[in-house]
Amino acid sequence: MLMAGDSKMFIVEDDDHFRETFIDVMSLKGVEVTGARNGDEAIRALKQAYPSLIIMDVQLPDMHGFDLCRRVKRLEGHRDTPVIFVSASTQYSDPRDRAEGLLAGASQFLPKPISVEKLWSEIERVLQTRRPS
């Protein structure tokens, strides 16, 4: 179950349909989600927004998601913000690529297509493990 402080998320996704569907479904769950289509938009937005979690596509039109994640983690106030990578590319099914994503700062790496229910359960799990006991 999400806590009150976890009610804001950010999604970086160039697939308009996936991004908008995610935003709509999360709003039904009482979660405010803002988003960006590419890495540059995300960096600009995240300089002023402090979500409790970021969903990030690996393949973005202007930069690789791993590079974006490293840049986000260097932004003021985002070092500890959890990032969940999603990717439709089978290129990232190799465990070494998944490990690289985790080393870039991600908390989780999930394949697309992914159901909103599965993504929601992973979001809850990542936020739960981040909280102090």
Q: Which domain holds residue 118?
A: 4-130
DSSP reduced 3-state for 10: strand
Nearest alpha-carbon partner for 8 in 81, 110, 76: 81
Q: What is the mean pLDDT of the chain?
A: 88
Can you tell me the mean pLDDT for 30-35? 94
pTM of the model: 0.89
pLDDT tens-place string over residues 87-96: 887 665 677 7
pLDDT-based confidence at residue 133 (cuts at 50, 70, 90): very low
Residues 6+ apart with CB under 8 A from 77: 50
CATH code of the domain in which 118 resides:
3.40.50.2300
The pLDDT > 90 percentage for the chain reads 65
- Work out the end-to-end distance of the chain between its first and last CA atoms, rounded to an integer number of angstroms: 15
pLDDT tens-place string over residues 94-130: 777 778 888 899 999 888 888 888 999 999 999 988 7
Provide the 8-state DSSP code for 59.
B
Domains contained in the chain, number: 1
